[in-house]
Copies of this chain bind each other. A is one copy, B any other.
Amino acid sequence: MSPTPPSSVRRVACIGAGVIGGGWVAHFLARGYDVTAWDPAPDAEDKLRRLVTAAWPALEQLGLAEGASADRLTLAPSLAEAVADAEFVQESAPEQLELKRDLLAQLDAAAPPGVVIASSTSGYPMTDMQITAATPGRLVVGHPFNPPYLIPLVEVVGGERTDRAAVEWAAEFYGVAGKSVITMDRELPGFIANRLQEALWREALHMVANGEATVEDIDASITEGPGLRWAFMGPILTFALAGGEGGMAHMLDHFGPSLKSPWTRLEAPELDRALRDAMVDGCERAADGRTYAQLVAERDQGVIDVLRATGRLDGPAR
């Protein structure tokens, strides 16, 4: 696949320098890469350098890689020049299928042979974006979260015509570049995290549309509630802990019926034996030998640390 091993990459090209593309630029610069960016907008360079300057203090706190410098950013006059000597390409153009399709085909035509090209698309399947590219095998999705220089997660998945080796190369490269990678073995609209947050987001929109809750109520209901746990323990394992020593099995047997209640407009799946067992087994794997008491202690310390870190241990709760 790529002529360069993931750990040897030094030059990264970022195509599109908006909030996401610019965030990628800041991340790669902080990790010590030479970054060449290209964006057709007339004011792109000013905006991009402002974004990097604004992000740099945060990146210094995170810890810069040796030799990392905002001076290692170059703005290229053309797409072709931006990717001419790139060892990895990250595309972060506006979320429009036709535009991304054409852009990826152009990048594929201009980038050195074998160099992996990743799209930041937040939802399009690569299968739909790679159809006009000459060598679609190297095109993958590398979906980040905002801001890419702070949120570790990247979801990596290929399309029907993507080489498995390109997916594996991208997953390894992102890991080397300090990201937390989830590799999907199948395409799914919205991938994983966006399907989850989009479900929450759509329920929130329904509530506002119906006058059931305000924007402030909705945001506070997360930051003062579940959000405090989700920063370090996922929704499934935290739900299992609510089952006490009985864990997920108790929760599903106990709250199974309420799955049919009209909480949210999203219909629940049939909680059959297979799903129940998949959830229970998954939680056992996630617990990885930790006892209920140990998990509770970890969760409690985590919430306390998060409350302290977010300035909520002084004075009464908000």
Q: A interface, how many residues as a size bin?
A: 35 or more
Q: Is A151 an interface residue (CB 8 A)?
A: yes
Most chain B beta carbons < 10 A, residue from A55, A146, A155: A146
Q: Bits for A252-267, please: 1 = Cβ < 8 Å to B, else 0.
A: 0011001101111111
Residues of B close to A308: CB separation below 8 A = 309
Residues of B close to A84: CB separation below 8 A = none
Residues of B close to A237: CB separation below 8 A = 215, 219
Interface residues of A in 196-230 (CB under 8 A from B): 196-209, 212-230
Q: Are A296 and B265 in contact (CB under 8 A)?
A: no
* Segment from A73-81, A109-117, A165-173, A177-185 that makes contact with B: A177-185
Q: Are A266 and B231 in contact (CB under 8 A)?
A: no
A155 to B219, CA, bound (A): 13
* Segment from A8-16, A98-106, A131-139, A281-289 that makes contact with B: A281-289
The residue of chain B having its C-beta at the shortest distance from the C-beta of A316 within the complex is B178
A202-B267, A239-B201 as given contacts; A254 in contact with B286, CB under 8 Å: no
Q: Which of B153, B219, B232, B255 contacts A234 (CB 8 A)?
A: B219
Total copies of this chain within the assembly: 2
Task: State the Cβ distance, A98 to closest chain B Cβ, in Å.
Answer: 13
Q: Are A310 and B305 in contact (CB under 8 A)?
A: yes
* Segment from A32-40, A85-93, A186-194 that makes contact with B: A186-194
A225 to B230, CA, bound (A): 9
Task: State the Cβ distance, A162 to closest chain B Cβ, in Å.
Answer: 18
Task: State the Cβ distance, A230 to closest chain B Cβ, in Å.
Answer: 3
Q: Are B218 and A236 in contact (CB under 8 A)?
A: yes
- Closest 7 interchain pairs by CB? A219-B234, A215-B282, A190-B263, A227-B230, A309-B309, A153-B225, A231-B231
Binding site for B on A (CB under 8 A): 18-20, 54-55, 58, 61-63, 94-95, 122-123, 145-147, 150-153, 155, 175, 178-180, 182, 184, 186, 188-190, 192-209, 212-239, 241-244, 254-255, 258-259, 261-271, 274-275, 278-279, 281-283, 285-286, 293, 296-297, 299-310, 312-313, 316-318
